[in-house]
Homo-oligomer: A and B are copies of this chain.
Amino acid sequence: MNNKVAVYRKEHFNAAHRLFNPSWDDAMNFSVFGKCANPNFHGHNYDLIIQVTGSVDERTGYVMDMKELSDIIKEHVIDVFDHKNLNVDVPYFQNLIPTAENICIVIFNILREKLDSKFEVKVRLYETERNFVEYPV
């Protein structure tokens, strides 16, 4: 058995969003997205769990320094998403509906690029305690 370990770091951010497909009219948007289509937005406390899988470094006993992982998440995700309106303030959602699924994929793509390619990366995003998503699978 190899010595690969998955390490996890939990962070969070608070944001407003609205689910809306601009190629549809309002009736279609309300039919598909219900109250999530409210034009004045609603919001969530998003909890984010980043999984990084790799070998344990014998000198440190770490897969990677969790402080360093937390700093990367804070700089590239939390500072960009926290206390923002995802539809209006966050360029990644200029042409992408900010569902939990899409937010999760966007965060994965951001972190995948910032983390060493020797690591596997996976992202779990809680929109509420009862609705959450994971990518990739």
Q: Which residues of chain A have a CB within 8 Å of any CB of chain B?
A: 1-12, 14-17, 19, 21, 23, 32-36, 38, 40-45, 53, 56, 59-63, 65-67, 82-85, 88-89, 96-102, 104-105, 128-137
CA distance in complex: A132, B2 (Å): 19
**Contact between chains at A5 and B61 (CB < 8 Å):** no
Closest 3 pairs between A and B when the two form their complex, measured CB to CB: A43-B43, A61-B99, A61-B97
Known contacts A134-B8, A135-B5, A14 near B128 by CB under 8 Å: yes
Q: Are B67 and A34 in contact (CB under 8 A)?
A: yes
Closest to A17 in B: B43
Whether the pair A130, B5 counts as a contact (CB closer than 8 A) is: no
Q: Which residue of chain B has its CB nearest to the CB of A62? A: B99
Bound form: Cα–Cα A94–B79 in Å: 30
User: 14 A–B contact pairs at CB < 8 A?
Assistant: A5-B105, A5-B137, A14-B43, A15-B42, A16-B41, A32-B65, A38-B83, A43-B44, A44-B44, A53-B137, A56-B101, A56-B105, A61-B99, A62-B99
